[in-house]
């Protein structure tokens, strides 16, 4: 159903990110979007992030407290009060209301200060304490935003998601329990929606069954919106961010990049993984599983249709030319690690031990390739951990190296992983050929290749200096197909 059609009993969840609530102008703009949307969607639940920069400020303050930097704590307290206070001044017109909200925000700032002072004394911060501190940004922003919305004439209240989202105790990356979350969310939000109020809900946070605050992981407000949308249930979830949806490439690298009107969940999963930063990767599962429509739109260009995420079936239509390759992205600052040796041929367990060694360093691996000769295994790791990974591998394979079953364990210079995404690749022969001839013509040397078995993406490794050139020339294939 198009958004313009009246859908009075339908429910919408939308989420505004940090930049969309980070200044008086942004808040005024977000309020206008909410008010415009209410005409078509009177049942509207809004999830918001902390104001831009606030979560970093809080966590940075806590980290410095572990180093005993006491003076920094008061500086951060002042910055937090100033940041929220100056915005409240502009967006909450009623003085009494403004003072009340600033009083509540100041209490939360006190929680920051006292927790950090305790951390400074102890010299360490537990993950639990870090979550308490990280949660404060959203707990402050919902109060301010909800009051601003009321000030603009729309009935609203704020809700802390500790009352809605029940999680396990895995601090900093908590998992929601959907059963209890469904019960709690409905019990709290349905009456608010029924009264015609717009609940402003904290993104990012939840609570364990004993009530202790947890967070869902950095950037987790998107995920919060998806969880709340899935359990309400909402008919659609709209993520308002600061770009025009999912683009064919990062516009900072490729100014000609265009918005993709539509992309499948599987394709966007590849993109999210590869740093498109548009959507938190965990956002997808709750909405796909509940069959809820997901849309990504730009707060600063609200009339732009943005990108709609659709199911993989594509309504049974075969992809046409322009859908074969949809987007190209890069993960920068990687190194390739290679383990090579003739003695590895046919020996089971080498890969398991190799990745066991990598895992022991706490590193996750974005790309792996092995040639069928079995004489080398090659994978990518971030530049900053390459040395650590290398010594873990040398230690694990000490014996094999001594008897020359393994000849060499080594890393390349800095490389980038370029990923080309498009589900049409599956049914279209020759796409890989086109990709490689394009790069060949540009003089870009490909060091390693991996294709996911889903055939939704192909990843290529190139030396760091070739990154821009590779992305730009591959993006030309996308543009040429659109003509
Ligand atoms: N405020 C949190 C963060 O900065 C969550 C979010 O913005 O999505 O990670
Ligand atoms: Mg974000």
| CATH of residue 456 | 3.30.2130.10
Identify whether residues 76 and 222 lie together within a single domain. Answer: yes
Q: Does residue 453 carry a pLDDT above 80? A: no
Report yes or no on 313 lying in a domain: no
Report the separation in Å between the CA atom of 445 and the middle of ligand 2, taken as the mean of its atom positions.
Answer: 35
- Number of folded domains that form the chain: 2
Tell me, yes or no, whether 232 and 339 share the same domain.
no
Distances (CA, A) of 291 to 79, 235, 287: 42, 9, 6
Q: Whose CA is nearest to atom 8 of ligand 1?
A: 219
Cα(138) to centroid(ligand 1), Å: 8
Q: Could you say which of 236, 257, 274 is where a domain stops?
A: 236
Q: Are residues 229 and 335 in the same domain?
A: no
From the CA of 373, how far away is ligand 1's center (Å)? 45
Per-residue confidence (pLDDT) for residue 7, from 0 to 100: 52
Instruction: Check residue 259 and report its DSSP letter.
Output: B
With a CB cutoff of 8 Å and minimum separation 6, the contacts of 399 are none
Domain boundary among 236, 255, 281: 236
> Which residues span the domain enclosing 206?
11-236
Q: The pTM is what? A: 0.84
Say yes or no: 332 and 230 in one domain: no
Looking at the CA of residue 224, tell me the nearest atom of ligand 1. Answer: 8
Please report whether residue 316 resides in a domain: no
Would you say 203 and 14 are in contact if contact means Cβ atoms under 8 Å apart?
no
**Residue 218 within a domain:** yes
Is residue 265 assigned to a domain? no
Bridge partners of 14, per DSSP, are: 46, 238
Q: Are residues 351 and 207 in the same domain?
A: no
Closest CA to 283 of 44, 53, 15, 45: 15
For the CA of 219, the nearest atom of ligand 1: 8
Q: Taking residues 362-389, report their average pLDDT.
A: 90
Is residue 111 situated within a structural domain?
yes
Task: Write out pLDDT tens, residues 395-416.
Answer: 999 999 999 999 999 999 999 9
* Residue where a domain terminates, one of 236, 267, 289: 236
Cα 423 to averaged position of ligand 2 atoms, centre (Å) = 26
Atom of ligand 1 nearest to the CA of 204: 5
Average pLDDT, the chain: 91
Q: For residue 345, how far is its CA from the centre of ligand 1 (angstroms)?
A: 47
Pocket of ligand 1 (CB under 6 A): 17-18, 49-50, 55, 137, 203-204, 218-221
Specify whether 331 is located in the same domain as 459: yes
Tell me: do 224 and 341 sit in the same domain.
no
Which-ligand-closest: CA of 215? 1
Same domain, 226 and 348: no
226 and 99 co-located in one domain: yes
CATH number at residue 170: 3.40.1160.10
- Residue 1: predicted pLDDT: 41
Residue 404 falls within a domain, yes or no? Answer: yes
Indicate whether 334 and 228 sit together in one domain.
no
CB within 8 A of 318, min separation 6: which ones? 427
Opening angle at CA 290, ends 288 and 293, nearest 5? 60
pLDDT at 130 over 70: yes
> Could you tell me if residue 419 is inside a domain?
yes
Distance 285 CA to ligand 2 centre (A): 17
Task: Give a yes or no: residue 57 inside a domain.
Answer: yes
Per-residue pLDDT at 2 = 46
Would you place residue 4 in the very low, low, confident or very high pLDDT band (cuts 50, 70, 90)?
Answer: very low
Nearest CA to ligand 1 atom 5: 219
Point out the ligand 1 atom lying closest to the alpha carbon of residue 220.
8
């Amino acid at each position: 159903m198009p958004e313009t059609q009246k859908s009075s009993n339908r429910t919408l969840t939308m989420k505004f990110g940090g930049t969309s609530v980070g200044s008086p102008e942004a808040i005024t703009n977000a309020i206008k979007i909410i008010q415009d949307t209410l005409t078509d969607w009177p049942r509207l639940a809004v999830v918001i992030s902390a104001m831009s920069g606030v979560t970093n400020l809080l966590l940075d303050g806590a980290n410095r407290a572990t180093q005993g930097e006491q003076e920094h704590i008061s500086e951060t307290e002042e910055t937090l009060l100033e940041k929220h206070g100056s915005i409240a001044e502009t967006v909450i017109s009623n003085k009494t209301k403004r003072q009340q909200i600033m009083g509540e925000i100041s209490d939360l700032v006190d929680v920051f200060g006292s927790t950090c002072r305790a951390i400074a004394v102890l010299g360490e911060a537990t993950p639990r304490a870090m979550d308490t501190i990280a949660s404060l940004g959203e707990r402050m922003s919902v109060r301010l935003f909800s009051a601003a919305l009321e000030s603009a004439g729309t009935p609203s209240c704020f809700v802390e998601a500790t009352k809605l989202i029940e999680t396990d105790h895995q601090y900093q990356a908590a998992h929601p329990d959907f059963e209890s979350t469904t019960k709690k969310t409905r019990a709290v939000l349905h009456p608010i929606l029924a009264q015609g109020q717009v609940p402003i809900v904290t993104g990012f946070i939840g609570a364990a069954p004993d009530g202790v605050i947890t967070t869902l992981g950095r950037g987790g407000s998107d995920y919060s919106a998806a969880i709340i949308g899935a359990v309400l249930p909402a008919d659609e979830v709209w993520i308002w961010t600061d770009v025009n949806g999912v683009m064919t490439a990062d516009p900072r690298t490729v100014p000609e990049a265009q918005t993709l009107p539509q992309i499948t969940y599987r394709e966007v999963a590849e993109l999210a993984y590869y740093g498109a930063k548009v959507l938190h990767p965990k956002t997808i599962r709750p909405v796909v599983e509940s069959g809820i429509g997901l849309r990504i739109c730009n707060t600063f260009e609200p009339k732009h249709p943005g990108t709609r995420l659709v199911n993989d079936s594509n309504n049974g239509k075969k992809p046409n030319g322009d859908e074969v390759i949809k987007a190209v992205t890069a993960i920068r600052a990687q190194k390739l690690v290679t383990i090579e040796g003739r003695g590895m041929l046919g020996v089971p367990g080498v890969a398991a031990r190799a990745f066991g060694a990598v895992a022991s360093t706490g590193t996750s691996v974005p790309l792996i390739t092995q040639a069928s000769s079995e004489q080398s295994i090659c994978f990518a790791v971030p530049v900053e951990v390459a040395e650590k990974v290398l010594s873990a591998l040398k230690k694990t394979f000490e014996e094999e190296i001594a008897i020359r079953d393994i000849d060499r364990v080594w890393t390349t210079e800095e490389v980038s992983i370029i990923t080309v995404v498009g589900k049409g690749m599956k049914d279209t022969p020759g796409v890989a050929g086109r990709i490689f001839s394009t790069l060949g013509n540009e003089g870009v040397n490909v060091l390693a290749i991996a294709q996911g078995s889903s055939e939704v993406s192909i990843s290529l490794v190139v030396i760091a200096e070739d990154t821009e050139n590779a992305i730009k020339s591959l993006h030309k294939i996308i543009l040429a197909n659109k003509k």
